[in-house]
Structure 1
Amino acid sequence: MAKRKPNGAGTVTRRKDGRYQAAVYVPQPDGTTARKYVYGATWEECDHKRQELVERARQGIATPTRSQKLAEWLPYWLEHFIKPERKRTTHAKYETHVRLYLVPLLGSKGLESLSPRDVRTFLAKVTKLSSAATAKESHRVLRSALTAACRDELIVRNVAMLVPTPRVTSREVKPWTLDQTLTFLAAARRDPLYAAFVLAIALGMRRGEIVGLRWSWVDLENRVLWVGRQLQRVGGELYEDTTKNSKRRPVPLPRICVAALRWHRMRQDEARRAAGEKWDETGYVFTTRTGRPIEPTNLYRSFVRIAKAADIPVIRLHDARHGCATLLVACGVPPRVVMEILGHSQIGLTMNVYTHVAQETQREALGNMDRLLKRRH
């Protein structure tokens, strides 16, 4: 007596036209199940396709019974691929591109029917609506989503890889000169966040790393601090996360940072006594009057306010990292050491700064040569 197939193994039957048909219940991207049909000229060919569907179902791999629309796949990809594996800031950024550009402009296209021409048209529209930089980022999001679809065997090729990204003109970073930096520090000396600005300028710490710094990670006696966490606000929630490269790095403290942090700790002790029972002990270095961590955006607002009051150009707080790297390289610090101080994930990021400063040094050296040759002439 033939053995019965277990539940979920599917069936193979012969059609009236002589071909064979297999039917298997398979999971769908939306979490439901549906019957999937495959066909073959022989029983063996059809049964082989049935076994592949059963194996995919056992592994929990979604197999759409119809060509899935991008408007269906992209939210599923965000929820099941990006949200569990990537940082919340990355998920928020990708979700913005999906919501504002990908779904409105490409959502009606099927995964299998999407063509390189569709992608080129999409990039042109996004460039017109926003900018080439936004179109390039949307292309990266689409390419990542289609790569996941390929791995799930929903499509056989990633058409986004066949379309070049728009050419983007890099924004020229113009950090403050040494005189402008000193002017800003002098103007910020009485500000409650003076020590935060010193850390940004002298150590090149990121905004999230500064507001997420805890006293337990600061050793003023041995003049060192550890950078391993950051504070971010995403979706209306302030939360703590790992740093950009997810590594904890020790950073030696120059004397200007030690002095600023000691001064800041005394001010915080005064604020703690003044707040009394209202003080919420969080352990953060930079806090509000009641001990709560400060908002990352408020740090930048104070930065801009002081720069305007000092009558110097307003730059991004992140550009202070470039200024720090410039000063370090100008002092003769090797690029590898600069990379470790700033927490760059790749030496290429540091070398971009190093090359810029090296060119300035070469220009100054050749200027001296020019003066010598003119005098001799």
Structure 2
Amino acid sequence: MNTHSDDVTEGVAGSELTAADAARLVANICEITRLKLPHESCSATLLTRIFDMGADAYEDATHSEVFGVAIEQFLLQKSDLRPDSYREYKAVLRRILRCSPDVGARSVRSLGAEACLKMITAAYNTASTVDKARRLLHCFFQYAMQRNWCRENPVARVWVRKRKELPIAVLNLDEICRLLRTVAQPEHSPCAAAVGLMLWCGLRPTEVTRLNWSEVDLEDRVVRVSRRVSKTGGARLVSIQPVLLRWLRRFRPENPGKEEVAPTNWTRRWHRLRAAADLLPWQSDALRHTFASYHLRHFDDIHKLQKEMGHSTAQLLFSRYLNMGYVTRKAAADFWNMTVLSKWDRHAPLEKGIQG
């Protein structure tokens, strides 16, 4: 009984191949293997590996999506994000396509780490923008894996230069007073409430632009940062300390209802305010860093601070937000008491004895 012949016959059953076709195919592959891999023995194990790799390559070429089309499908899937987040995805990914037009027609599955790195660096050249492009392209390939357009995320193997970490910016009391004095002027006063919430509640600039007055509860003395407002999508409550309560009572509009806290043209107004206060250049989230550092120094409660910042762990606070270098206990006390307000507004002394 010829068992090898039986195996071949069984193996091609149900296909368009005959046993003779299979034999010729194996012979051809053995010949190619001898030419291209002279040091390899043409064994059944090697042939199986070659067939498997060939099947994978065939699937890569035929069961994927064109990169340019896939990007648009990904953006459509992301269209329910907040407008600013969606704009960021759209701007970055479409810029990558514009700067590497030849890649748009390639299949997603054909793009490896080297191709991704070339795309990113063709579109961006600073450490921060390269880092952002890498992060968003990584999100795209995660989506592509879910759609079975690729087997792995090639961006995970892309190395980019690390951003140079600057010292964490924390305003000193003189700088804080200069900012408060400037924002209290009629030209800048529409920004006053938003500045107070960033300084004494640690809200991000993007969060104050989404916040409305119905979420600022002066009676319960809390700011309700809803999922709609929060950058990370997690709701939190932030205490309104007496110093902020006094500030908001002064600058809150009459019967604001659901009126937004930040004025229109916030981005331009906020930049002009910092320039007028002579606080440029400005490190991103400087008021949030200031809030965190003065809060921990004065209240000495890392868990409360963590909750009010909206962080799941304290590790991020210590690595990215806190700078205790020159925040003395006295400076922190001045920041949270009325002293910091009376310093900039000497002609309008603040009421004493407001309790938290």
Residues 22-57 of structure 1 deviation map (CA, whole Å, 9 limit, x = unaligned): xxxxxxxxxxxxxxxxxxxxxxxxxxxxxxxxxxxx
Structure 1 residues 318 and 120, CA, compared in 2 at 3 Å: closer, same or farther? closer
Aligned match of 2:131: 136
- Letter of the structure 2 residue corresponding to residue 284 of structure 1: E
- Aligned-pair CA distance for 1:99: 0.6
1:321 to 277, 281, 288: 288
Paired with 1:66 and 1:351, the residues of 2 have a C-alpha distance of 46
Aligned match of 1:214: 212
2:198 to 197, 200, 203: 200
2:269 to 302, 305, 321: 302
- Letter of the structure 1 residue corresponding to residue 203 of structure 2: M
Which runs of 5 or more structure 1 residues have no equivalent in the other structure? 1-11, 20-62, 230-240, 270-280, 288-293, 363-377
- Letter of the structure 1 residue corresponding to residue 72 of structure 2: P
- 2:177 counterpart SS class: helix
Rg: which structure is higher? 2
The yes-or-no answer on 1:336 pairing with 2:303 is: yes
Structure 1 residues 209 and 156, CA, compared in 2 at 3 Å: closer, same or farther? closer
Paired with 2:180 and 2:268, the residues of 1 have a C-alpha distance of 16
> Number of residues paired by the alignment?
273
Residues 308-366 of structure 1 deviation map (CA, whole Å, 9 limit, x = unaligned): 33434452573211111121122243222222222235433212256632x5579xxxx
Aligned match of 2:247: 260
Give the 5 Å matches for 1:1-377.
15=16, 67-80=64-77, 82-84=78-80, 86-102=81-97, 104-105=99-100, 106-126=103-123, 129-190=124-185, 191-228=189-226, 241-265=228-252, 267-268=253-254, 283-284=258-259, 286=261, 294-295=263-264, 298-315=265-282, 318-353=285-320, 356-357=323-324
Q: CA RMSD in A?
A: 3.3
Structure 1 residues 17 and 114, CA, compared in 2 at 3 Å: closer, same or farther? farther
- Aligned-pair CA distance for 1:261: 2.0
Paired with 1:328 and 1:173, the residues of 2 have a C-alpha distance of 15
- 1:193 counterpart SS class: helix
Paired with 2:127 and 2:235, the residues of 1 have a C-alpha distance of 35
- Letter of the structure 1 residue corresponding to residue 221 of structure 2: R
Paired with 1:242 and 1:306, the residues of 2 have a C-alpha distance of 23
- Aligned-pair CA distance for 1:107: 1.6
Paired with 2:257 and 2:284, the residues of 1 have a C-alpha distance of 25
2:67/2:106 contact within 8 Å kept? yes
Paired with 2:277 and 2:139, the residues of 1 have a C-alpha distance of 45
Paired with 2:145 and 2:167, the residues of 1 have a C-alpha distance of 37
More strand by share: 1
Structure 1 residues 184 and 157, CA, compared in 2 at 3 Å: closer, same or farther? closer
- Aligned-pair CA distance for 1:17: 5.6
1:303/1:317 contact within 8 Å kept? no
- 1:250 counterpart SS class: strand
Residues 175-225 of structure 1 deviation map (CA, whole Å, 9 limit, x = unaligned): 321111012212322423322222211111122332433333333233223
- Aligned-pair CA distance for 1:88: 3.8
- 1:336 counterpart SS class: helix
- Letter of the structure 2 residue corresponding to residue 186 of structure 1: R
- Letter of the structure 2 residue corresponding to residue 182 of structure 1: C
2:116/2:155 contact within 8 Å kept? yes
- Letter of the structure 2 residue corresponding to residue 189 of structure 1: A
Paired with 1:282 and 1:324, the residues of 2 have a C-alpha distance of 27
1:335/1:351 contact within 8 Å kept? no
- Taking every aligned residue pair, what percent have the same amino acid on both sides? 21
2:63/2:149 contact within 8 Å kept? no
- 2:105 counterpart SS class: coil
TM-score after normalising by structure 2: 0.65
- 2:223 counterpart SS class: strand
Paired with 1:211 and 1:166, the residues of 2 have a C-alpha distance of 32
Paired with 2:212 and 2:247, the residues of 1 have a C-alpha distance of 15
2:288/2:321 contact within 8 Å kept? no
Paired with 1:162 and 1:141, the residues of 2 have a C-alpha distance of 14
1:149/1:155 contact within 8 Å kept? yes
1:211/1:284 contact within 8 Å kept? no
- Letter of the structure 2 residue corresponding to residue 184 of structure 1: L
1:329/1:335 contact within 8 Å kept? yes
Residues 99-124 of structure 1 deviation map (CA, whole Å, 9 limit, x = unaligned): 10145413233223223332333344
2:142/2:153 contact within 8 Å kept? yes
- Letter of the structure 2 residue corresponding to residue 139 of structure 1: R
Which runs of 5 or more structure 2 residues have no equivalent in the other structure? 1-12, 22-59, 329-356
Paired with 1:245 and 1:155, the residues of 2 have a C-alpha distance of 28
- Letter of the structure 1 residue corresponding to residue 16 of structure 2: R
